[in-house]
Amino acid sequence: MILALETSCDDTCAAVVDGARIRSNVISSQAAAHARYGGVVPEVASRHHLELVNPVVDAALAEAGVGFDDLDALAVTRGPGLIGALLVGVATAKSLAAATRKPLVGVDHLHGHVAANFLDPEPLDPPFVCLIASGGHTQLAGVREPGAFDVLGQTLDDAAGEALDKGARLLGLGYPGGPAIERLATEGDPEAFDFPVAMAREPGLDFSFSGLKTALLYAVRDLDRGELERRRADLAASYQAAVVGQLTAKLERALEDGDWQAVALGGGVAANSLLRERTTDLCEERDLRLKLVPGELCTDNAAMIASAARFVEPTPYPDYLEWDALA
């Protein structure tokens, strides 16, 4: 039984996980607090985490129906993420673990996104390829054991989620941009604009999204106000298709390169229905097993951190008191 905390970005999260079973998974989203800035303001995030972390931990324990005595260990995201935001979770977890003399597990956030796939129902066993696409990271992870993964390829500039967030901003949509673009795209034509699916023809498994963002900027600039209004949905649909097209092109190449039998998705962008559809098609064509966790386990949450913690050596009291956050 593990109590985990996750505060690496703008969600304050605590969860209790018992083996592969989620007992509680509390997420307090700060999205509304950051929306008016069009993105996460790190110092605002840290201050919100500070206010929210205790009530969120209380809620996670209460919902799970457990107390500190029932816990085998605590776990926390040590990095990567925003330093001030991470510090709140790390300091809280250290304090709670020390006060109760429990071991503490330090978890890598990206390992957490992979480990969301190890939870009930129908946990996925390695080996598999996991495409992690979030606001801060885009990676193809080769997962051969539950406690570690190899980076097969990653973005050379922006993350996929970042490209969607910045694209949404150019289109005058809200934050977070991924869901906003997804909603508007349902009314648009994905072939209306010919955005570059960068890197698709390049060798290797790395990604690049900054050129795509610039292409959208130019397309928006070339339209007058009325045209932009009329074609906003087409822009959203075409832009989303280009982001998803690059993700699936590289995933397909990773599958061609290696002898993988199963595929998983992770990170906030994995909640995107076009990406889920395309990946489903790709896996059906190749007769591969595909694991798609529900949207609330794709975006940041602490259940995935507890899940990863099961496969990491716990640090006994009081050794973790020296820990720092790893931005």
> Is the CB of 153 or the CB of 179 nearer to ligand KG4?
179
Told to check if 134 binds Zn ion by CB under 5 A, we report yes
Q: Indicate which single residue of 9, 105, 129, 212 sits in contact with ligand KG4 (rule: CB under 6 A).
A: 9
Q: What is the closest distance, in whole angstroms, from the C-beta atom of residue 21 to ligand KG4 in the complex? A: 22
| Torsions phi, psi for 15 (to 5 deg) | -150, 150
- What are 179's two structure tokens? 């869901």
Q: Say how far apart CA 228 and CA 153 lie, in whole Å.
A: 35
Q: What is the closest distance, in whole angstroms, from the C-beta atom of residue 109 to Zn ion in the complex? A: 6
Q: What is the closest distance, in whole angstroms, from the C-beta atom of residue 278 to ligand KG4 in the complex? A: 13
Q: Indicate which single residue of 161, 167, 190, 245 sits in contact with ligand KG4 (rule: CB under 6 A).
A: 161
Told to check if 271 binds ligand KG4 by CB under 6 A, we report yes
- What are 205's two structure tokens? 């498994």
Residue with tokens 């600039």: 221
Q: Say how far apart CA 214 and CA 48 lie, in whole Å.
A: 33
Q: What is the closest distance, in whole angstroms, from the C-beta atom of residue 294 to Zn ion in the complex? A: 15
Cβ neighbourhood burial of 40 (10 Å; 0-12, 13-18, 19+): buried
Sign of the four-CA dihedral 149, 16, 97, 28? positive
Identify the DSSP state of 301. -
Q: What is the closest distance, in whole angstroms, from the C-beta atom of residue 137 to Zn ion in the complex? A: 7
- Edge-to-edge strand ranges of the sheet holding 2-6: 21-29, 11-18, 2-6, 73-79, 104-108
Contact stretch for ligand KG4 (CB under 6 A) within 13-21, 130-138, 250-258, 308-316: 130-138
Specify the amino acid at residue 221: R
Per-residue contact string for residues 262-301; x = within reach of Zn ion by CB under 5 A: --------------------------------------x-
> Is the CB of 137 or the CB of 310 nearer to ligand KG4?
137
Q: Between the CA of residue 21 and those of 14, 95, 109, 213, 282, what are the distances in Å? A: 15, 25, 20, 40, 29
Told to check if 112 binds ligand KG4 by CB under 6 A, we report no
> Is the CB of 61 or the CB of 236 nearer to ligand KG4?
236
Specify the amino acid at residue 158: D
Q: What is the closest distance, in whole angstroms, from the C-beta atom of residue 111 to ligand KG4 in the complex? A: 12
Q: What number of CA atoms fall less than 13 Å from residue 311's CA on the CB side?
A: 22
Query: Which partner from the list ligand KG4, Zn ion, none does 79 bind, CB cut-off 5 to 8 Å by kind?
Result: none
Residue with tokens 């993420």: 81
Told to check if 108 binds ligand KG4 by CB under 6 A, we report no
> Helix (H, G, I), strand (E, B), or coil: what is residue 80?
coil
Q: Say how far apart CA 225 and CA 215 lie, in whole Å.
A: 18
Q: Indicate which single residue of 79, 112, 126, 136 sits in contact with ligand KG4 (rule: CB under 6 A).
A: 136
Residue with tokens 């957490």: 112
> Is the CB of 235 or the CB of 312 nearer to Zn ion?
312
Contact stretch for Zn ion (CB under 5 A) within 130-138, 143-151, 184-192, 218-226: 130-138
Q: What is the closest distance, in whole angstroms, from the C-beta atom of residue 182 to ligand KG4 in the complex? A: 4
Told to check if 268 binds ligand KG4 by CB under 6 A, we report yes
For ligand KG4, the binding residues (CB under 6 A) are 9, 134-136, 161, 164-165, 176-179, 182, 267-269, 271-272, 299-300
